Amino acid sequence: MKGRARTIVATLVIWALLLTVPAWLPEIGGYTALASRILIYALCAMALNILLGYTGMMSFGQAAYFGLGGYGAGLALIHLTHSTWLAVVAGTLLGGLAALLLGALVMRSRGIYFAMITVAIGQILYFAAERWDSITGGQDGLTGFSRQPLRFGHLTVPLSDVPFYYFVLFWFAIGVAVLAILLSSPLGHTFVAIRENRRRAAFLGINVSRYVWASFAVAGLVAGLSGSLNALLNNFVSPADLYWVQSGNFVIIAVLGGMRSFWGPLVGAIIFIGFQNYVSSVLPNNWETVIGILFIVIVLFFPSGILGIARRRARIV
Amino acid sequence: MELVLFDGFNGLIQGAFYALMALGLSLIISLNAVINFAHGGFMVIGAYLAFTLEPYLGFWGALVVGPVLAGIIGILVERLLVRRLYGRSDPVYSLLLTFGLALIIEDSVRSIWGAQGVPFAIPAALNSPLSSTYFFVTGYRVFVVGAIVLATSALFAFLRFSSFGVRIRAGILDLETVSALGVNVYLLRAVNFAIGIMLAGFAGVLAAGVLQLSPTMGNDVIMATFVAIVVGGIGSLLGSVLGGLIIGVAAGVTSAYAPVASDVVIYVIMAAVLLVRPRGLLGQEGLFE
């Protein structure tokens, strides 16, 4: 098969599998809420990958916009609206707006300094969420909201596990479409140019900082969407959603699946979340060790990720 | 006024810890080109080893042997894992590998020594206040500051006057040339890694006397240590000491006036410093960019 045909087939297979999850996942021992979680983490890691894999900027603070999205959706449901749709929109906008504003602070830094300043911003927001009891619920997290049934005219759909999975899949599709269109546009090609040779891009007249800013804002917007869905999945937002350990999880998901491939983070999320879920039930006391070993094995033996290896294999064959 | 002095002094101690941690981490970043997320974990290892050894060796013996054992573990980790990352230019890999290592260390410490905090006994001679007005100035706290000043001075003297130390500094500037001149850079990097880990272990034992020991005590310190390094400038050893002291004292003084803000203030300082000086106070251009 030629490259383009293969891409189309692969994309169709992925969507066919995602659409039929509630039918086949229980057969292999999973449950639908787990699939919702995988999609949510995959979406956030795909958004992060715009920065990490495509623009070549090592962001270590993606959890900030994920967490903000969660608080945005939760607070909207508590104070503003009974519409689950609007809650998602509110959370997404909060994440995107925060990334747009804060991106202006980080866009000029590079390398490890970029990583550290994104961590710092995430930590400031984390401590704000943890301390601001009256708004966020402090250390106990934000509770007191639940996903509301969807209304289509006379039809009311309660968001139990399976309908909620399709609700998440719907937003996942929108998020993925936004990222895919972006990456195939001149804007996306400019991101890759910056990753490949920042100085040369600058010589060609590209305002590098401004494109990094754009990349950062888009990553934050989609992370906000993903965080909103996560809040609805758990009916709960924890300050730990903003913590740097959570940012590290998104980075490892992207690296595990393959930073250089569009669908890599989805593969990474399937393995990471599935593995975490399995190991924490088998070894409730020592699952962190197993996750740690997984990190080390990935870095040492699969630096280009699962899809990176698969692609190299395919080329040889 | 006394409250400010009290918090200022606490901040100084905290800053001295951060400086010691940052110094070790800075050595490792500069010569091993590895961003060591597990640095806090090694600090905890040093502290718990000293806790286990104290009944047999006494406080002073544990203070020396604990960090040395941590350093030996550090050499093993360098040989088995970290060495494989040399030559990979993307820092994301070293971040992730040591991130995994930090998870493993925390989990192992919890399995071996338990999740509950344990107290660490310090000699009675060191534990009495030096003055009744300034009750917070106990002998142990003064000793901690003195010990850290001593360790830092010893390290700088080692780097300045011993031939091995000079090689380390030369390797930080240009490892390829140092290698071409016939220095075994693998040994150089292994020893350097061990020195960094020993400093972390030493900080851990000293901290154990002030705080309780707990498996998670490294988590709060590691982020502050990164902040100290970035404030001081990556690649500058003096800068990392400076950065540690600045954020420690700032956090201490802030907790006197606005306790709520004391955790946030170090990140605010870091953001402010980076906006004015993108490479920190004493940082060099081009390193890790």
The pLDDT score that the predictor gives to residue B243 is: 92
Chain B hits for A272, Cβ within 8 Å: none
DSSP element (H, E) containing A307: helix A305-316
Across residues A279-284, what is the average pLDDT? 81
Tell me: pLDDT of A68 over 90. Answer: yes
User: A3-316: what CATH class?
Assistant: mainly alpha
Which one of B106, B108, B268 has the shortest CB-CB distance to A124? B268
Secondary structure letter of residue B81 according to DSSP: T
Residues of A with CB under 8 A from a CB of B: 52, 58, 60, 105, 108-113, 115-117, 119-121, 123-124, 127-128, 131, 244, 248, 251-252, 255, 285-286, 288-289, 291-296, 298-300, 303
Chain A residues with CB under 8 Å of B107 CB are 286, 288-289, 292
Query: How many residues does this entry show for chain A?
Result: 317
Average pLDDT over residues B240-247: 92
CA distance A164 to chain B (A): 33
Distance from CA of A285 to the nearest CA of B (A): 8
Average pLDDT rounded to a whole number, residues A229-250: 88
Q: What percent of chain B has pLDDT over 90?
A: 30
Identify the DSSP state of B34: -
**Amino acid residing at B277:** R
Q: A217-226, B68-77, B178-187, B255-264: which range is least confident on average?
A: B255-264
Instruction: Choose among B180, B199, B179: nearest CA to B188.
Output: B179
Question: In Å, how far is A106's CA from the nearest CA of chain B?
Answer: 9
| B252/chain A closest Cα distance in angstroms | 17
Lookup: tokens for B2: 């006394």
What pairs with residue A142 in β-bridges? A237
Mean pLDDT, chain A, integer: 85
Alpha-carbon distance B35 to nearest alpha carbon in chain A (angstroms): 9
Tokens at A17, concatenated: 């599998």
Pair of tokens at residue A24: 């086949």
Residue B234 at interface with chain A, using a CB cutoff of 8 Å:
yes
Task: Spell out the domain ranges in chain A.
Answer: 3-316
Per-residue pLDDT band for B158 (boundaries 50, 70, 90) equals very high
Tokens of B247: 């954020």
CB within 8 A of A234, min separation 6: which ones? Answer: none
Q: Average pLDDT, stretch B259-281?
A: 82
Check CB contact of B174 with chain A, cutoff 8 Å. Answer: no
pLDDT of A124 above 80: yes
- Per residue in B66-112, pLDDT (tens digit) is 999 999 999 999 999 988 888 777 778 888 899 899 989 998 998 88
Contacts of B111 in chain A (CB under 8 A): 285-286
**Nearest Cα residue in chain B from A129:** B264
Chain-chain contact of A113 with B278 (C-beta, under 8 angstroms): yes
Determine which of B103, B108, B109, B225 to mutate to test the interface with A (most A C-beta atoms within 10 Å). Answer: B103
Question: Percent of chain A beyond pLDDT 90?
Answer: 22
Q: Which of A55-69, A101-115, A211-225, B232-246 has the lowest mean pLDDT?
A: A101-115
Q: Which of B283, B245, B281 is nearest to B13 (CA)?
A: B245
The alpha-carbon gap from A227 to the nearest alpha carbon of chain B, in Å, equals 23
Alpha carbon distance B12, B26 (integer Å): 20
**Residue B118: pLDDT band by 50, 70, 90 thresholds?**
confident
Which amino acid does the sequence have at A212?
V
Angle between helices A264-282 and A287-301 (to 10 degrees): 150
Q: State whether B93 and A303 contact (CB < 8 Å).
A: yes
Distances from the Cα of A145 to the Cαs of A77, A80, A170, A234, A235, in angstroms? 6, 11, 22, 10, 6
Which residues of chain B make contact with A115, given a CB cutoff of 8 A?
91, 95
Rounded CA separation A189/B130 (Å):
66
Q: How confident is the model at residue B190 (pLDDT cuts 50, 70, 90)?
A: very high
Written as one string, the DSSP assignment of A195-220 is HH-HHHHHHTT--HHHHHHHHHHHHH
The kind and range of the H/E element at A252 are helix A244-257
Closest alpha carbon to B193 in B89, B17, B57, B39: B39
Question: Which structure tokens are listed for A8?
Answer: 């189309």
Q: Which chain B residue lies closest to A245 (C-alpha atoms)?
A: B99
C-alpha B160/C-alpha B141 separation (Å) is 29
What are the start-end ranges of the H helices in chain B?
Answer: 2-27, 39-80, 92-113, 139-161, 163-173, 175-180, 185-210, 217-232, 237-257, 265-276
List, as ranges, residues 241-280 from B with C-beta within 8 Å of A: 260, 263-264, 267-268, 270-271, 274-275, 278-279
Pick the more confident residue, B125 or A203.
A203
Residue B43 has pLDDT above 70, yes or no: yes
* Averaged pLDDT, A182-199: 86
| pLDDT at residue A173, as a whole number | 92
How far is CA B179 from its chain centroid? Answer: 28
The pLDDT value given to residue B130: 63
Mean predicted confidence (pLDDT) in A36-58: 90
Q: Which residue of chain A comes nearest to B276, CA vs CA?
A: A105
On chain B, the residues whose CB falls within 8 A of the CB of A131 are 260, 263
Closest residue in A to B259 (Cα–Cα): A131
Q: CB of B264 within 8 A of CB of A127?
A: yes
Between chains, do B96 and A286 touch, taking CB under 8 Å as contact? no
What's the length of chain B? 289
Quick one: how far is CA A194 from the chain centroid? 22
Q: What is the pLDDT of residue B133?
A: 63
d(CA A148, CA B6): 52
Hey, what amino acid is at A287?
W
